Structure formats: structure tokens, C-alpha cells
Amino acid sequence: MKIASWNVNSLNVRMPHLEQWLRAAQPDIAALQETKLADEKFPDAALAALGYRSVFCGQKTYNGVAILARDRAIESVQYGIPGFEDEQKRVLAATVGGVRVVNLYVVNGQDVGTEKYAYKLRWLEAVRGWLQAELQAHPKMVVLGDFNIAPDDRDVHDPALWNDGHILTSSAEREALRQLQALGLHDAYRLHNADGGVFSWWDYRQAAFRRNLGLRIDLTLVSDALRGEAAETGIDREPRTWERPSDHAPAWVRLAG
């Protein structure tokens, strides 16, 4: 089972890219972030024509998440974080083929010390509380998405720039991610790759992709019960080379079970 995550940065713009990528990569499950579409505009019929069932939770212009599954039913769908009031559409969970898939579009946080930064930390704490209970009910779990946090200095092109005072790399954000992983979630990429310099996001400015000035902020986390099944992982850079690309590349994990 190949499970992938991709921040498409507007499905309305990137739908041709998504169709091309689904045909080429053939993930069994795909979690999308930043669809930026109200639910009535979601292209579920077009995706069904490609063989993918879909569930989605979106809003006009901002945010939005979706889970696509090929030749498998999507069951027990959860929209949002239970008990956490939030108008932003950032969380979607479902069970597919016996695996609980949790799709997160983590808050960006704007800048360290701002109200949006404080909201990000509150949001992550709410996610942690929810997933702690969710893992008890669903031991086979993959938590994936755009985390808007680079786990450590190997995951940034310049640690001197991306430091404790910078959004996406501050110590409080990284600690929140570590606390999430302490529930029994493992960075699938790091199970197979120890080296740095491999990224999933590059700014549109300063020729960042060509110069590989990026960050690895799109993660696939596997639970204890799936750790031994995470046979292969990677980041698919090719869609970032296409015309009018998303600023993110798909991250994926293949489960051997």
C-alpha cells in the first residue's frame, strides 16, 4: 500500500498536475492539503474517473484537505479535531484498508511570538490529545501532511537562517512535533534516510528550487504497529519541475503488509 501526501496549493490550479501525478505515481491513498475549494467545487467526479474515491473538507480560497483512495472503501471519516472549535478546514481522518489515515495541514504560525504562532501551538496540542486516544482505537495509523515544521537541522538548507527565532524551525514548534511523535509515531523518511539536504518545499522566490534552498516539512509518520511495514519512503520532486507547480512536492511511504 503506497500512501502519499501532497500540498497542492490550490486544486483548482493544480488539478491537471494531480491527474498526471496520480497516473504516474499510482498511490493507493493520497492525502491532499491546501485544496482551497468549497466542498461543492471539489472534483470528485473527475477523480472517480481515475479510479479514486474521495472525501474532503474545504473552504473557499484557504486551507482544505482531502483523502483519495484507489479501489478501497473510505470508512469512519472524521472531520476536524474533536472538541476543538476551529473554522479552518485543516484535519481529515479516515480508515482505508485497515489503516487509519490522518491528514493534517498544520497551521503556519506567521512569525514567532505572534497570535498565529500561539494558535499553532494550541492547535498542535489539541491534535496530540486527540491522536493519543485515536491510537488506542486504531493502532495501525499513518499521520501525514504539511506539518509546517522542519524536524531538525538536516531538514533545512541553512540552519543558521532557519533557527530558533524563525517560524517552522523554532524550538517550541520542534518540541511540539517531538511530543506528537512520542505517542508512538515515527518519521518514515528517517527510518530509511539519515542524510540531510532532501526537501519537500521550496519558496517560489530566489530560484529556490533550482538552487535547492528548501525545507522538509511534508512528513509521513507511521505508528508503532506499522513501523516494521514502512518498507520504502521518498519525496517525488518531479511535480515541482512542472509549469505553474505547487511549492510542495509529494511525500510518500510504502507499507509492505
Q: What is the DSSP string of 10-50?
A: -HHHHHHHHHHHHHHH--SEEEEE-----GGG--HHHHHHT
Is-contact 89 11, C-beta < 8 A?
Answer: no
Assess contact for 250 and 5: CB atoms under 8 A.
yes
Q: For the chain, what is the radius of gyration of the CA atoms? A: 17
From CA 143, how far away is CA 166, in angstroms rounded? 25
Q: Pick the catalytic residue: 52, 105, 117, 189? A: 105
**Strands (E) located in the chain:** 2-7, 29-33, 52-57, 65-70, 74-79, 91-96, 99-105, 141-146, 185-187, 201-202, 214-215, 218-223, 230-235, 251-255
Catalytic residue check, 105: yes
- Could you say which of 28, 117, 146, 189 is catalytic? 146
Active-site residue set: 105, 146
